[in-house]
Amino acid sequence: MQVALQELVRLGGGLVTLGALRQVVPQWTVRQACRSGELVRVLPEVFVAADLLDDRPGAPALSRLRPALSQRAALAWADDCGALSHLSALDLWGLRPSAPGEPVHLSTPASASLRTRPGLVVHRRLGLSMGPPHVVVRRDLPVTRIEQALVDSWPILPPAERRAPVIRAVNDWLTTPERLTAALDTVPKLADRAVLRTLLAKLADGCRSPLEIWGHEHVFTGPGMPAFRRQVPMSVGRTIYLDMFAERERVNLELDGATTHGDPRQREIDLRRDALLATIGIVVVRFAHRRLVHEIDEVRRETLAILAIRRDVKR
């Protein structure tokens, strides 16, 4: 590869556009580099160094790049007329990494001439502007706002993988259930829309993990169960958030996940936390993941019995 051409590719992190090349080298140099296998055209007027492609010769050239490079290539081709969206946006927001070979998703105004190509899905959207509030910059790349990305990705993801990005976004304070609900209201024909709306309602009620949602749906509802308050802040020298608090009985139910609470260090932290709550008259009852999933009736009976005893004690 010619030295000037090689330097351009290096400066571009392995990627270069035809417009940039024309300013430095004649077009025949680019054709020669492609014929010799040193450069590969991944999109119209977008080239990458051949050694950056993986060894899947049957796949589209764009899909053979690392996700971060394929995203940059798509944006270079879009030339300020597109923003990363859907699953690609979830990657930039840190909610779900793009899998190798997964197509890049790009949203563009309906008036733009961009079209879907191998390894690239273009979503044309009426009223989309390439700046705030529709598009923001993250990791120096244009991306659709987080609420739109989560709603757009919902029907694309397998059902078993849909909840996790939404829950994480709320838990990490990247968005709120209310803002997500507002974004959902703008897409009335979204597939499985009712399921997402139900999830957002549970997050708004204070559920903060798949296990809490499971408990809400299958265990801690029905006759005799109080209206638990979720994620209640309690000051005991420091602020502690209670998973499920029965205020009248002053009982806090903690739902211990299958992984985190198996750690001895976490167990010690939990015991100290429970002791602090005991100083202000709050009884903590912990249920392990295994019991919540496999011993539903027994957990319900234990919970109702504990609540009844606490009510009798407080009379």
> Is 130 inside any structural domain?
no
Report whether 35 contacts 8 (CB < 8 A).
no
pLDDT at 16 over 70: yes
Q: Which residue has the higher pLDDT, 33 or 88?
A: 88
Long-range contacts of 135-139 (CB under 8 A, 24+ apart): 135/83, 138/92, 138/93, 139/92
Number of domains in the chain: 2
181: pLDDT strictly greater than 90:
yes
Which domain range does residue 222 map to? 210-313
- Helix axis angle, 146-153 relative to 177-185, nearest 10°? 60
Given a contact cutoff of 8 angstroms between Cβ atoms, the answer to whether 135 and 142 are in contact is: yes
- Is residue 278 in a domain? yes
DSSP secondary structure code for residue 98 in this structure: P
Let me know if 144 is exposed, middle or buried by CB neighbors in 10 A (0-12, 13-18, 19+). buried
Structure-block tokens of residue 286: 């912990």
pLDDT at 21: 84
Residues 280, 225, single domain; the answer is yes
Q: What is the pLDDT of residue 24?
A: 84
Mark whether 167 and 181 lie in a shared domain: yes
> Which position has the higher pLDDT, 255 or 106?
106
pLDDT in the model for residue 170: 94
**Residues 185 and 217 placed together within one structural domain of the fold:** no
Local confidence band at 315 (pLDDT 50, 70, 90 cut-offs): low
In a domain, 308, yes or no: yes
Q: What is the mean pLDDT of the chain?
A: 91
Backbone angles phi, psi at 202, to 5 degrees: -70, -40
Cβ of 112: how many Cβ atoms within 10 Å?
Answer: 18
Look at residue 25 in the predicted model and tell me its pLDDT: 84
| 285 and 306 inside one domain | yes
Does residue 314 register a pLDDT over 80?
Answer: no
Residue 102 counted as domain residue: no
**CB 230, CB 252: distance < 8 Å:** no
Q: Are residues 195 and 237 in the same domain?
A: no
Q: Band of the pLDDT at 8, cuts 50, 70, 90? A: confident
Q: Which domain-ending residue is among 183, 204, 225?
A: 204
In a domain, 243, yes or no: yes
Burial 205-232 (b: 16+ CB within 10 A, else e): bbbbbebbbbbbeebbeeeeebebebeb
pLDDT value of residue 258:
59
3-state SS, residue 77: helix
Q: What is the pLDDT of residues 27-42, one digit of tens each?
A: 888 889 899 989 999 9
**Residue 168 falls within a domain, yes or no?**
yes
Q: For position 270, which CATH number holds?
A: 3.40.960.10
pLDDT tens digits along 242-264 = 989 999 999 999 988 755 545 77
Co-location of 258 and 275 in the same domain? yes
Tokens of 160: 């078993």
